[in-house]
Amino acid sequence: MNNYIPLNKAIGPKVICDGYQALIPQKLGVDAMTFTFDGSECEHATCPGAPEIFIKVEENGLYYFGIEADDTGSLTIAGEELCKKDGTQPNGKLNIETASRYLKAGYYKVALSCTNNAYDPTSNNAVAFNVTMDKEPIQAGKYEGNSTMKREFSPSPKIKLWTIEKESDIKCEESKEVKLEFESPEIIYSPEIDSCKTNPIPPKICVTVCQDKDENVWKCRVVSASAGAKITIFNDNFMNPLITPPLSEEEAIEAVNEMNGYQARGRVGTWHTPEASVAHEEHHRRQWEDAFNYYWKEMKIQEKLEERTFSCDTYKDMDKVITLMSGYADLASTNLTIATAEYVIQLPDRANDRPYCAGQKVLNEATRKVILLADAMDWKNVPRVVTEPGTIEPSCFLPPVNKEKSRSMAVADQSAPLILSIADTSRFTEGRITACFRNEENEPIRIPDEINDETSDYFFVTVLRTEQGDARILNAKMGNITFQRPLNYRELSPGQEYSVTIPVCLDEVNLEDWKQCSCELETRYYNQQGKDCFLGGLRATAKLVL
């Protein structure tokens, strides 16, 4: 049956799990095993010929999901593993993993799985599994203590599961234009001290198939497409004048001067507000939104997917065609991500650039309140000027997304005095590669000395490709990072080399499937941050034998 069935085409929908209790309530004395849920009469087991299960989406929108498990749990929607809770120690106890996805109204085929590990003694081995679905962010349960039996599930609504007798019609209808929906989840505020981040949510393209009996082929139809970006605001050691106003004229002078200098300084000062950081990161999120929308249309992704057909004589099983088309949709999603990321992370993000101007505009509200305080306290030496924000709109201003002339044309690969190469791939299967910078200029060149396991995904986009056109992005995070402090730099003398080992994420790569392929590893380095250092992009490739 199709991955997606419109509400009006589902014949015989029937609720098989009403969502009143967890799929597996907490229990003790369980052996190691994997439970799956498919609507069969077998308790927590897969039975031959069992019906497929679906979730019902009443209206278009952003939906939130949560997986609670002891030990490992996963949720797959329309062929995409949306959410997986890690069960390796110390994560074996009941706790939660969450995700979100924009869904169009209809029924979506789902797969649920829970794996319980073996522990000794078995009598103390607990199992628990719960899946939540809501239009509001999923609430955490109470996960205190070392015992799963004493922990509590999330209070968010439990998932309802359906079976469907059949789809009323799988004949092809006219294609309808699908717009890319952009997800903007609630901002995450972390008490930790770190740099703020905006990370893209990978695109998800949901496809279904229909049968053209006149042409005797299966055709693809794109049901929906979504992408997004999530923001994490970290703490810092700045003073927030909206919470703790200056207590003296000297403090007020410092606060006004520090906040007025944010835009030109290109980093947070001793006085700042979280609201200004949010405005900065929201600007980055808009860049991702504009770029995703642009490349969705520019690359004609829907058009190219729907051009594909499969012979009904060759492929009599619709599920096989759905699997093939879902694979092409995944590849299209990867290519969309690569094109978007290569554009967004080249947008300048340093002093006086648009993200800082957006932050300055909001920060000025706090500056004005300090000035009002100075007026009330008759602090005459406090500056009464407020920084005029620089250019903010449009958020995407470099070609190709916007044709406006710009100060920086770093979008294209430059002929640069700095050369990048992939120096070592011997540890690729361990998730590590080594990139090498070499200064070919007659003068010293500076680069940010900030590349490590935590930050490398914000400087590099690394992709594994085959000659057949398959591709995987090997960045675990990717996105924009906003350093809250001055950057450290490394100066390369003429002819000097500098190597850095960076992680590559192999979570989505089954290396066994790639061993028979001719593979190319490509990594692109981008930097638009910092002062008096190399700004722009570099590209390196290497043949890879797995």
Given a cut of 80, whether residue 489 has pLDDT beyond it is yes
Provide the 3-class DSSP secondary structure of residue 96: strand
> Would you state the pLDDT for residue 17?
87
Check: CB of residue 432 under 8 Å from CB of residue 503: yes
Check: CB of residue 318 under 8 Å from CB of residue 209: yes
Cα dihedral across residues 277, 280, 283, 288: positive or negative: negative
Half-sphere exposure of 96 toward its Cβ, with a 13 Å CA cutoff? 23
> Would you state the pLDDT for residue 52?
87
Given a cut of 60, whether residue 409 has pLDDT beyond it is no
- For 317-343, what is the mean pLDDT? 94
Q: What is the 3-state secondary structure (H, E, C) of 492-509?
A: ECCCCEEEEEEECCCCCC
Residue 132, Cβ density class (10 Å: 0-12 exposed, 13-18 middle, ≥19 buried): buried
Percent pLDDT > 90 in the chain is: 74
What confidence tens digit (pLDDT) does each residue in 127-176 have?
Answer: 899 999 999 999 999 999 888 899 999 999 999 999 999 998 878 888 99
The pTM for the full model equals 0.88
- For 115-129, what is the mean pLDDT? 81
- For 487-491, what is the mean pLDDT? 96
> Would you state the pLDDT for residue 91?
73
> Would you state the pLDDT for residue 42?
47
Given a cut of 60, whether residue 235 has pLDDT beyond it is yes
- For 199-212, what is the mean pLDDT? 94
Given a cut of 50, whether residue 407 has pLDDT beyond it is no
Given a cut of 80, whether residue 387 has pLDDT beyond it is yes
What confidence tens digit (pLDDT) does each residue in 425-438 have?
Answer: 999 999 999 999 99
Closest C-alpha among 521, 532, 504, 528 to residue 420: 521
- For 524-528, what is the mean pLDDT? 94
What confidence tens digit (pLDDT) does each residue in 423-476 have?
Answer: 999 999 999 999 999 999 999 999 999 999 999 999 999 999 988 888 999 999
> Would you state the pLDDT for residue 481?
96
Q: How high does pLDDT run on average in the chain?
A: 91
The DSSP result for 440-501, as a single string, is -SSS-EEEES--STTTGGGTEEEEEEETTS-EEE--SS-SEEE-SSPPPEEEEPTT-EEEEE
> Would you state the pLDDT for residue 515?
83
Lowest mean pLDDT among 344-353, 385-394, 413-422: 413-422
| Helices 354-377 and 274-298, axial angle in degrees (round to 10) | 160
> Would you state the pLDDT for residue 145?
84
> Would you state the pLDDT for residue 13?
94
> Would you state the pLDDT for residue 40?
52
Residue 206 CA to residue 224 CA, distance in Å, equals 5
> Would you state the pLDDT for residue 415?
59
Given a cut of 50, whether residue 303 has pLDDT beyond it is yes
> Would you state the pLDDT for residue 211?
92
Lowest mean pLDDT among 144-148, 356-360, 500-504: 144-148
Provide the 3-class DSSP secondary structure of residue 180: strand
